[in-house]
Amino acid sequence: MTEAIRKFDWPGRLKAMGAHLLISLTLAAALAALVMLVWYPWPYSVLAGGRGLFWLVVSVDVILGPVLTFVAFNTAKPRAELVRDLACIAAVQLAALGYGLHTVYEVRPVAFVFEVDRFRLVGAADVRRQELPQARAAYRHLSLRGPLLLAARESNPGDERLQTIKLALQGYDVGTRPSYWVPYDSQLKRVLASARPVTLLYRQKPETAAELDGQLAAMGVDKASARFLPITARVQDWSVILKADGSIAGFLPRDGFF
């Protein structure tokens, strides 16, 4: 038993595991930067969800890959066999990372859309893609750099409005339909007409007045003129704080549907 332990080549295995761990951490950090800074910038990373599986896969990958390398690495093996074993471990690890990355890619937020009386955070999987060719040229390809700030135009009376109702019942609200996407600034009058005064948030939870004061001050808005609209998102429903001109001042982790 003692002889077997002595021949186990601890230094070689630990060195191989350490090298694998360093490579895994570097790759995981690069992918995490892509996901968190490009596809899911704050606060959309909180609102959209979809990151849980990615972090689970990355965590298991970073731990399991080096451990398997520690077990499989043996300089006594023929070189071809050792290379094959390590290549299999790397292939499984890359496949798992690819699956996790593909999952968050498919549900990444691509548009933050004002529609009627709220903002909707639209994920790539939510978009009615057959309408992309009908969208404005700038919106025919889903964003790879975080969600675009857009608005959904009003539907025209008649057949279009009936079709809008029909598709909404199927789960395709106007915010998810590229043929309805227009620049946010073009709909500021509608935004301000639908927005509600921030003072209502104080009335809803008067015990949080001091906290709300601090949050609004950090956004640089005056509570007397600031307004808000609720956000519909995949995971959490927050509120958007708007300046007097309708531009977005910030986000509030509070449900605005009341």
Query: Would you state the pLDDT for residue 108?
Result: 93
Residue type for position 77: K
Query: Would you state the pLDDT for residue 10?
Result: 79
pTM: 0.87
pLDDT (tens digit per residue) in 180-236: 999 999 999 999 999 999 999 999 999 999 999 999 999 999 889 999 999 999 888
For the chain, which residues make up each domain, given as ranges? Answer: 2-106, 109-187, 195-258
Which percentage of the chain shows pLDDT scores above 70?
Answer: 96
**Least confident piece of the model among 105-114, 138-147, 155-164, 242-251:** 155-164
pLDDT value at 246 more than 50: yes
Query: Would you state the pLDDT for residue 51?
Result: 72
Query: Would you state the pLDDT for residue 99?
Result: 86
Q: Please, what is the average pLDDT of the chain?
A: 91
pLDDT value at 41 more than 60: yes
Q: How far is CA 175 from CA 103, 130, 221, 238, in A?
A: 22, 14, 27, 17
